[in-house]
């Protein structure tokens, strides 16, 4: 059996910790103790530190003097700032993709994810469907720098979506997502952008309420 390369091990630890953070399995504000993780994961401290450093670059983990690494915490300003930037990037991706992309392929992909959202049996499945649906526009926008800009805040956006999935009514957005789908079919980028904005505006107060209740 081939030995696991160090880089591969770091990737595995990073993916595991990232998934646990964005799905709230590791609560916000939790201190990441390298010795405890070493015991839990059965690996040396070096790949754990490298994985934590990657999470720090993604701003899912914060390093504090005399405290060490801990999972980020969010307040109202953070949520509004992340949503504002994400919506700006999403709408730019919509404009470019509908100008430069293959609209038939985009419509097929959007419809597939909309169907998955509607049939989601768990919040996690719903979050994945919304994430993949919005990702269609980045895939077709033809601008790698825009795509990389979204990747930079992708972890934080996924965390917010998973928080929203904990709120009542998380699955009640079929209308907005259907309007988004209709906008693609009608080749109406403004309608798609409006649907994205409506979805974001409805999710923000629910997320802020959840954060207040889980301080």
Listed residues 23, 42, 71: the one ending a domain: 71
Residue 1 lies in a domain: no
Can you list the positions of beta strands (E) in the chain? 61-64, 68-71
What integer is the mean pLDDT of 39-57? 92
Check whether residue 13 and residue 111 sit in a common domain.
no
- Count of structural domains within the chain: 2
Average of per-residue pLDDT across 159-174: 85
The C-alpha angle 123, 201, 196, rounded to 5 degrees, equals: 75
Q: Is the pLDDT of residue 124 over 90?
A: no
pLDDT category at 2 given cuts 50, 70, 90 is very low
For residue 97, the enclosing domain spans 76-213
Same domain, 52 and 67: yes
Tell me: do 196 and 102 sit in the same domain: yes
- Structure confidence at residue 65 as a pLDDT band (50, 70, 90): confident
- Within 8 A by CB and 6+ apart from 156, the residues are 58, 59, 60, 72, 82
Q: Are residues 18 and 84 in the same domain?
A: no
- 31 and 92 together in one domain: no
Section 25-47 average pLDDT: 92
The answer on 172 and 137 residing in a single domain is yes
Q: What is the pLDDT of residue 1?
A: 37
Confidence of residue 4 (pLDDT cuts 50, 70, 90): very low
Percent of the chain with pLDDT over 90: 78
**pLDDT for residue 78:** 97
pLDDT band at 5 (very low <50, low <70, confident <90, very high): low
CA neighbor of 69 nearest in space, from 84, 83, 55: 55
**Domain of 40: which CATH number?**
1.10.10.10
């Amino acid at each position: 059996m081939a030995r696991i390369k160090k880089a591969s091990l770091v990737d595995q630890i990073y993916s595991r910790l990232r998934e646990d953070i964005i799905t709230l399995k590791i609560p916000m504000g939790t201190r990441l103790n390298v010795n405890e993780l070493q015991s839990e994961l059965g690996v040396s401290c070096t790949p754990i530190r490298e994985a934590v450093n990657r999470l720090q670059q993604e701003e899912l983990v914060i390093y504090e003097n005399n405290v060490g690494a801990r999972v980020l915490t969010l307040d109202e300003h953070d949520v509004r700032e992340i949503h504002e930037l994400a919506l700006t990037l999403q709408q730019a991706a919509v404009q470019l993709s509908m100008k430069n992309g293959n609209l038939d392929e985009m419509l097929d992909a959007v419809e597939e994810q909309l169907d998955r959202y509607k049939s989601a049996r768990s919040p996690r499945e719903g979050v994945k469907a919304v994430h993949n649906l919005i990702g269609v526009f980045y895939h077709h926008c033809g601008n790698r720098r825009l795509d990389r800009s979204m990747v930079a805040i992708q972890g934080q956006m996924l965390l917010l979506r998973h928080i929203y999935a904990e709120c009542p009514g998380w699955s009640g957005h079929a209308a907005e997502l259907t309007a988004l789908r209709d906008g693609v079919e009608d080749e109406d980028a403004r309608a798609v952008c409006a649907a994205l904005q409506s979805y974001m505006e409805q999710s923000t107060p629910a997320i802020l309420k959840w954060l207040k209740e889980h301080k």
